[in-house]
Amino acid sequence: MTICVYCSANNNIADKYKDMAADLGRWIAQNGHALVYGGATGGLMSAVSNAAAEAHGEIIGVVPQRIINAGREALHCTEQHIVRNMNERKERMKQLSDLFVCLPGSYGTLDEMFDVIASGTVGEHQKPLYILNYEGFYDHLLNELQLMKANAFIPQQESYSPHIVSTLEELKKELSAKQD
At residue 55, the pLDDT reads 98
Q: CA 165 → CA 63, 151, 172, distances in Å?
A: 28, 24, 10
Where residue 37 sits, what CATH number does that domain have? 3.40.50.450
Residue type, 107: Y
Number of structural domains found in the chain? 1
Buried b (16+ CB within 10 A) or exposed e, 73-111: bbeebeebbbbeebeebbebbbeebebbbbbbbeebbee
Ranges of the chain whose pLDDT falls below 70 = 180
SS (H, E, C) the chain: CEEEEECCCCCCCCHHHHHHHHHHHHHHHHCCCEEEECCECCHHHHHHHHHHHHCCCEEEEEEEHHHHHCCCECCCCCEEEEECCHHHHHHHHHHHCCEEEECCCCHHHHHHHHHHHHHHHCCCCCCCEEEECHHHCCHHHHHHHHHHHHCCCCCCCCCCCCEEECCHHHHHHHHHHHHC
Quick one: pLDDT at residue 180? 63
Q: β-pairing, 79-83 with 2-6?
A: unpaired
- Reported as a single tens digit per residue, the pLDDT across 89-130 is 999 999 999 999 999 999 999 999 999 999 999 999 999 999
> CA 17, CA 38: separation in Å to the nearest integer?
17
Q: Give the domain range for residue 51.
A: 2-179
* Residue 132, beta-bridge partner list: 165
The predicted pLDDT at position 179 comes to 73
